[in-house]
Structure 1
Amino acid sequence: MTTLLHSDQPIHQRFTALVEDTPGPSWQDLFERCWPGYRDWYLRNGVFGRPSYLDCRRALRKHMPELVSTWERLVELAGGGDIEARILSMWCPPVYIAGCSQAVWIDPFGEQGPALLRNYDYSPDLLEGNWLATRWCGQRVLAMGDCLWGALDGINEAGLAASLSFGGKTQAGEGFGIPLVMRYLLEVSTTVEEACDILKRVPAHMSYSITLLDTNSHWATVYVGPDQATYVTRRRAITNFQHQVDWPAHAKATSAVERLAALEYWVVDKTHSLPAVAAALLQPPLFQTSYRRGYGTLYSAVYQPASRSVELFWQDQRWPQSLFAPQAGERDIVFPIGPS
């Protein structure tokens, strides 16, 4: 839960780790806590401005059949209503725009496996802050949650790590909200290749870049969007544009070009250690403090597929987790004051 006070006061955010193999009371509590905000967001253009229940169910069955039984269980826990079912399907939701930086680091000395690092930049008002450890489709998934059961970034039991960033275009089309696409590929994929196949066939309703890394040391950054064919690249660093800057005002406001240059310096240079790259995420231009403008850095993360481990970290705290033994808990974070 986020507390936004007067413009000259600090911003507080609580992060919560939940461990629940199958949807039950913990998820239901999460839903009840977050539901009013999501309902207002989803219905801001009216109930008839969104797809019908039948359209939502048909889209899930066609594109993500393995998730249908989990979706039905979540709808039941949410009270079984029509609006709840439609929101949880994440089919053609309203638009949303974030920031984010992400990169793949490769050990210059070949002594340890590669890592996926990311900064998540967004409005603290809109962050769930829920870290979910689940077994919804068989394998363990540990992911930072969004849209009640979607994922912003995460890792699964097979050692596949994935992270998303906004792709820099405002156009929206027919497709799923990207957090549910992320959830799906973490639930059913085991390799980068399998995840790429999913991203090629499952439509996304807005432009996003997804960086993938697995235990075979394979990686890819994949561009998805409603107005383009899915494009698989070997880019090791990405911010908030794909082939070129399509939204100059957003790129300028979020320092997207400068962040990309910094990331490329840290991950392409052969001499930088993983701790050094992680430390760079907490410094400008990668670390951003424009929280009240909607793009402050809310958390940083480093995923290491070889050890199935992940660590969230901030300016003054670190929170490591192992996929083999995730632990429930809470962390209270105070963000530095940025421009009002």
Structure 2
Amino acid sequence: MLWRALSEDQPGPKWAGLFAEYWPAYKRWWLKDGETARPTYLECRQALADHMPELLALYDELCELVGGGDLAARFLSFYNPPAYLSGCSQAIWPGREPVLVRNYDYNASAFDSLILKTNWQGRQVMGTSDGLFGLVDGMNDAGLSISLTFGGRRIAGEGFGVPLILRYVLQTCKTAEEAGAALARIPTHMSYNVTVLDKKRQYLTAMMGPDRPAVITHAAVATNHQENVEWISHARITATVERERFLLHRLTLHRDPEEKFIGHFLKPPLYSTAFNAGFGTLYTAVYRPRKGQMEVRWPGTIWPQSFDSFEEGQRNIHIPGAP
């Protein structure tokens, strides 16, 4: 898999070039249920104005940058997108310098494989891109880090794709408390668990869903269910309960040192090669919000990044079991 890292402070030719490259595949995905299944441009823009008004000017700028097309603008809103599922495990290691660690388990052919650093709206953000506007994990220069896992429920409803919600949190929030308030009020189209950690060691996990209020918890571990397992077959395939128990044991019974704890994410039962089911581990991310540092890891490979020293470039990564 070809991974890239790109830094561009303001939306410009680098980002526009990436969009032109990715757009044909994203367009096919966006229209897979037919164009009428997706909301209109006016509905998308109004939803952003209602729930994430701070992003509206940035959204308009990105739409203009890619040519102002109707379909591209609707896609970039992330409003009521097609359903999509992932695996994923995430946990907070509570040491002196707390760390947010996560595995992203997903389809290898439907992934940006891009580390993106921006300074949009005067807020530095870096993380793993999704849809080039959203993020599946990331951190900002205020020392707030964030990550998502699928919540293990079939129901879909009115709301935003969660990667844009993560972008919004990192663009507008400085603390876990502020992030929790945002996560509690923004509608999501499917169920997700979102974990945040700030530089003051405060953390929370929001269990979000389209059909019920978000539950804000002090959970340090999240896999692919919420308070109870509701989708039994998905839980079995992804071993969500087993992964949660394993992580809780490492945090409570064994008290692993930091590097050993991170290392568990690169081995079973957390590390998955189930790409035939769409849930293979594409990478492990490590966020150190107090230091402004992140790492993307694979077995035998580490790509470190930071706000002070961000390395643009690309790497060809061998991912065990990936097609």
- TM-score normalised over the length of structure 1: 0.93
Post-superposition CA distance 1:240-278 (Å, at most 9, x none): 000111111111111111111111112223631110011
Tell me the percent identity. Answer: 44
Matched, 1:315 2:299: yes
- Say which of 29, 42, 58 aligns to 2:30: 42
Q: Secondary structure at the match of 1:289?
A: coil
- Say which of 53, 72, 76 aligns to 2:41: 53
**Residue number in structure 2 paired with 1:229:** 213
Matched, 1:76 2:67: no
Q: How many residues align?
A: 323
Post-superposition CA distance 1:191-244 (Å, at most 9, x none): 000001111111111000000100110000111110111111111111000011
- Say which of 89, 106, 109 aligns to 2:94: 106
**Residue number in structure 2 paired with 1:5:** none
Letter of the 2:21 counterpart = R
Post-superposition CA distance 1:53-72 (Å, at most 9, x none): 11111111111111111111
Matched, 1:167 2:142: no
**Residue number in structure 1 paired with 2:168:** 184
Matched, 1:87 2:75: yes
Post-superposition CA distance 1:27-58 (Å, at most 9, x none): 11111111111111111121111111111111
**Residue number in structure 2 paired with 1:258:** 242
Matched, 1:16 2:4: yes
**Residue number in structure 1 paired with 2:181:** 197
Matched, 1:324 2:312: no
Using the alignment, how far apart are the partners of 2:250 and 2:122 within structure 1? 36
Letter of the 1:274 counterpart = E
Using the alignment, how far apart are the partners of 1:197 and 1:314 within structure 2? 33
After TM superposition, the structure 1 stretch with the greater mean CA deviation from structure 2, 261-270 or 186-195, is 261-270
Letter of the 2:197 counterpart = L
Using the alignment, how far apart are the partners of 1:223 and 1:32 within structure 2? 34
RMSD across aligned C-alpha pairs, in angstroms? 1.2
- TM-score normalised over the length of structure 2: 0.98
Q: Secondary structure at the match of 1:299?
A: strand
Letter of the 1:58 counterpart = Q
**Residue number in structure 2 paired with 1:65:** 53
The question of whether the paired residues in 1 share the 8 Å contact of 2:184 and 2:206 is answered with: no
After TM superposition, the structure 1 stretch with the greater mean CA deviation from structure 2, 265-274 or 202-211, is 265-274
Using the alignment, how far apart are the partners of 1:200 and 1:241 within structure 2? 18
Letter of the 1:246 counterpart = E
**Residue number in structure 1 paired with 2:262:** 278
- Say which of 235, 253, 271 aligns to 1:269: 253
1:325: Cα distance to partner? 2.8
Letter of the 1:163 counterpart = S
- Say which of 256, 280, 287 aligns to 1:303: 287
Q: Which runs of 5+ in 1 are unaligned?
A: 1-12
**Residue number in structure 1 paired with 2:20:** 32
Q: Which runs of 5+ in 2 are unaligned?
A: none
1:95: Cα distance to partner? 0.5
Using the alignment, how far apart are the partners of 1:117 and 1:309 within structure 2? 12
Letter of the 1:292 counterpart = N
Post-superposition CA distance 1:272-298 (Å, at most 9, x none): 111001110011010000113210000
Letter of the 1:133 counterpart = K
Using the alignment, how far apart are the partners of 1:23 and 1:292 within structure 2? 36
